[in-house]
Every structure is written in structure tokens, then in C-alpha cells.
Structure 1
Amino acid sequence: MKKVQFLVAILLVSLSGFAQETIKLKIKENKVPCVGVAPMECLQVKEGSNKDWTFFYDSIEGFEYEPSFTYKLKVEKTKKSGNLPADASAYNYKLKKVISKKKAKTSKVSQTTNLDIFNKKLVLTELNGQKISKGSIYFELNDSDKTVSGKSGINRFNSSFEFKNNELIIKPGMSTLMAGDPKSMELENEFSNAIQSPFKVIQIGNEVKFINVKTNKVEMIFNIPTTNDIWTFIDGKEWKLFMLENVGKDFGNASIQFNVTENKVSGNNGCNRFFGNYKTTSDEIIFDSLGTTRMACKDEESKETERKMMHYLNNSTLRFDVAEQTLNFYKDDKLVMMFGLQF
């Protein structure tokens, strides 16, 4: 009997070892927009000896990411067992060791030009002489690491750029591969082809013109949204929660709505209605004097949604932005809640 038990123990150890391996990951200094179950922000990683950066849609247990630092990690990768949802990851990741953590080098781009276009959202308003009104094409030039991230219409993309002598070159990068309606796909293809050209950049107030170096024609015009523009768009609309702490799903009635004239906020936290005040400066928001109804939660998931959502709304300063039809809230540079426009 002891011999049988010993053999079973060896077999179990062997099976668990087969499903588990230790890998090395390189982590880039910035996250980029990506699409998993829902739009989110992903780490960029290189696994082992891979040369190309790829999106990392999962979390690493025990790893605290800090922007502007590059990492080399030793990570335990374990295959999950059982029947998994089609959109779920097949692996769990757990930090074993931080091999290195280094501050990324900072580019001097914004210090060597009078343009005020870096680290700001540029929204396409005109392409090859045609007005673009949807606001579905936009990107941001990050001058700390010379990266570009944004949306080309249907798909999200990220790459890198060079800026010399007032001339901008956006290099080929990575993109998601989602399909859309024919008109949207045609617009996306036109933009994707146009953005590959070298451009001279001229800024007048919040309007930014991209002039093709070869043809000397204004090929694209972008707008940098102001705080007033953003709040005019947010005001009065119902925004439905679809991502909470990097988990994207249907959160039932959970939603938020703003009355900009009165600086009032209201909504549903999954179980109860909430209401209160808010104040904002630039891209930060503080909620104040929040109250809720007192109905009991019907299930544990709704109760957990309520707990987490109110944790971020109560006495907390959050950073926010709007990306096309999503309203996003960040805590300490970590994306914690995403709301989609409810039609």
C-alpha cells in the first residue's frame, strides 16, 4: 500500500510539473491600449528570446508594475485545468523574481520644439480634404519613450516615432485585427496608409496640421480636445460599466451619469442607486458627499461590484479620460474602471 501511495505521489508531482514552467519576461516601460474581452491597457512583453514586443492580456500575481521602468522577470507559468471560457487565458502567471528594474531613458522631444502636441490626444478631423466627424481616429505621441498609441478607426495600434527638425516619422507597428463595416474599414485603410508618410507639423492653438513632406500638401488635420470639449461630451449621457479592475464583462445595471451644470453625479453601483457631487481639475476628478439607497444585493457578484465601485468613488482622486465612446478612470496610473456610452 505504501508503495502504491508513493507511486501516486510521484505521478501527481510529474503531472503538475508538466503543466508548469518558469519563463523569463521583459516588460516595456509603458502600457498601450488593446482589446481583450473589452478595451483595456496591456503590458508589452518579450518572452524568452523573442525579439518582438507583444501584448500581455493577463496579470502577474505578486508583480507591481510602475510606469517608466523596464523590467526583467522570472515568472512561473501554470496551465489552467478544466473547461475554460473561450475568452479566458489558458495560463496563470506568478512572479518568482524581479531580475532587474531600470528607469527608461527620457527623450528630449518636447523640450526641443515649440509644439505642444506630445502626451496629448490628437483626434483626426480631416483626411485628404474630407471632414471626419466621428472622432473614431486618434492617437497620442508619448515623448518619454517615443511611442505612439491610439485607434485607427476600428482597430487599436501602437508603434514608435522619430521627430527631427520639425519632421515627424511614425514607424510601422502592431495593430489589432478586428473587422468593421465597409465604410469604416475604408476610412481606416486610408488613414493607415497616410500616416506612414513623413510629415511637417504645424500647430495653431488646438489645431494640428500634418503636411506631407513629399507633396507639401496638408494631408491630415487633428484637434486636441480641451477640458470643456470633453465635459460637453460626457454631460447628461449614461455610461455603462463594462470593465472593473481589468475584468471585462456585463456588470448588469452598473452605470454612471454626470450633470455638468450642477456638478452632480449619479448612477447604479450594481445593487443600489448612488448620488452626490464631484469637482474636477484638468484630468483629475474627486467625488464628494456620495450617498446610496439601501437595497440588499441579490447575489455575491453584484455585491462585489458595488463594493469595488464605491471603493474607487468614495474619497478618492482619480484621473480620467475619454477615448471615443469609453469613459476611463485611473488610480495611480492603473486603469480601474471603464464605462461605455449607453445608447
Structure 2
Amino acid sequence: MKRILIILMLFGISAYANAADVIRLVVKEDRASCTGVAPQTCFQVKYKNSKSWELFYSNISGFNYKPGYRYVLLVTRTKRANVPADASIYTYKLKRVLKKQKMPVVTSDWGFVVKHKWKLIQMNGVTQEQSPAFIIFDKEKGRVNGSAGCNSFFGSYEKGDGKLTFKQMGSTLMACADEERTKLENDFLKLISDKTFKYDVAEQTLNFYENNRLVLMFGMAPLDTP
């Protein structure tokens, strides 16, 4: 009797470990750079309660993804019994495509860009939650300014053929007590100083690319927002 009970308990644990549920996923029309075991590109997804796009480090078995299309999927999510190192605790399998929508081609309309403040929302594939960093462009003077986290930065820019070059960048030198803000600021300023990026505007985001890899994403905000 005791042996039967142990077997039933082990069966129950195994069944729990492999329990599956069906979830709804929205998959964005372009991938973003991310770092798992090595640098790679990831889907950008929204779950039921997502407020913004999240990086998706796994694969979806049976899903034939095409860039430029936004998908709404029903996906079977199964918890792994034994999780390999640096792997997701879940596996995902496509159950049904609920919607597939061709998204508008992105634009490089600079007149639109200079009318707004752009707040940093992603850097090198990492989502920046409530980041204090932002950037503003002065079309008439060819100047750029903003906040890198603690300090203000400034410089000039040149634009042409869908590319943007930052020049003569500088910043104030106020000490920052917050270590996370200090790291954010150092990484951000290093990334944009004397660099040339391809850029586009899509879905109210300003995106910078280096070697065809998305490295910076900014969200649109009114110029007069703090």
C-alpha cells in the first residue's frame, strides 16, 4: 500500500511539472536584440496584462514568423520537468493563429521627430522601466540635448539618407548617488558619443540601429513633459 502511494505521489509531481496551459500572445512585427547564452534576436511580445512589449527568449514550435506582420496567437505553454541551464522553464507550441496583420512601413520623417521628446525605453535589448533618460532634437540649430539619467548631455547631430550621426557630445559632471542610474548614464553616453546610427520611426517609437541591430528605442512624449 505504501509503495502504491509513493508511485501515485511521484505521478502527481510529474504531472504537475508537465502541466500545460493555453495563453494568448501578441507578437510584434520586428525582433529586438537580446542576450541569452549569447547575443541573439528575440520576439517582442505582449501577454494578457502587458503594458509594453517584452522580450521573449524562447521559441514557439510550429510558428512560421514573417517580419512586418503582427500576430495574435493561442499558444500552449508547458512547464519543463527538468530545466536545462540557461533555458526557459517553459516550452511553447502554436495552437492557433487568431490574427495576422501587415503593419505599415516605418517612416524616417524628421519633421515628426523634432516635435517630440523621446524617452529611453530600451537599450541593447534591455527594457528600461521608467527610465529618466530622454533626448530632444533642435532642427533649426542641428543640436541635441537631454538627460542621461543624472546629468544633462548636449551636442550636435547630422542627418542624411536615413542615418543620424552624433558629434561633439558632452555632459554636465554632477555626481550621481544612485548606482543603477550611474550605470545607465555611462552606458547610454558611451553608446551615442560620436556614433552613426540608422534610424526609423514606428508606432510612436524612435529606433536606432547599429550594424542592423536595434540598440536604442525611445518612446514619444510631449516636449513639455518633465
Equivalences for residues 112-191 of structure 1 within 5 A: 147-150=66-69, 157=70, 174-175=71-72
Q: How big is the alpha-carbon RMSD for the aligned residues of Structure 1 and Structure 2?
A: 3.7
Q: Of 220, 231, 247, which aligns to 2:110? A: 231
Q: Is the 8 A contact 2:32 2:214 kept in 1?
A: no
Name stretches of at least 5 consecutive residues in structure 2 with no aligned partner. Answer: 1-25, 42-52, 59-64, 75-97
**In structure 1, what is the Cα distance between the partners aligned to 2:39 and 2:106?**
35
Matches within 5 A, 1:88-127: none
What TM-score, normalized by structure 2, do the two folds share? 0.58
- The 1-side partners of 2:27 and 2:183 are apart by 26
CA distance change for structure 1 residues 89 and 258 in 2, over 3 Å: closer, same or farther? closer
Deviations 1:266-298 (A, max 9, x none): 110011101110001111111011111111112
1:280 has 2:159 as partner: yes
Aligned partner (choices 317, 322, 328) of residue 207 of structure 2: 328
Structure 1, unmatched stretches of 5+, are 1-32, 44-57, 66-86, 93-145, 151-156, 158-173, 178-188, 196-221
Q: In the alignment, which residue of structure 2 is the partner of 1:303? A: 182
Q: Structure 2 CA distance, aligned partners of 1:90 and 1:313? A: 26
Q: Secondary structure at the match of 1:341?
A: strand
With a CA cutoff of 8 Å and minimum separation of 6, indicate the structure with the bigger relative contact order: 2
Q: Does the Cα contact within 8 Å between 1:40 and 1:246 map onto a contact in 2?
A: no
State the TM-score, normalized to the length of structure 1. Answer: 0.39
1:41 aligns with 2:31: yes
User: Which one of 175, 180, 195 corresponds to residue 316 of structure 1?
Assistant: 195
- Contact 1:278/1:288 (CA < 8 Å) preserved in 2? yes
| Distance in 2 (alpha carbons) for counterparts of 1:89 and 1:224 | 21
What one-letter code is carried by the residue in structure 2 that aligns with 1:175? V
Local SS of the residue matching 2:35: coil
Q: CA deviation at 1:41?
A: 2.1
Identity of aligned pairs, percent?
30
What amino acid does structure 2 have at the position aligned with 1:41? R
When the two structures are aligned, how many residues end up with a matched partner? Answer: 156
The answer to whether the 8 A contact 1:251-1:305 is kept is no
In structure 2, relative to structure 1, the CA distance for the partners of 1:276 and 1:223 (3 Å cut) is same
Deviations 1:18-38 (A, max 9, x none): xxxxxxxxxxxxxxx955xxx
TM-fit CA distance, 1:64: 6.1
Letter in 2 for 1:266: N
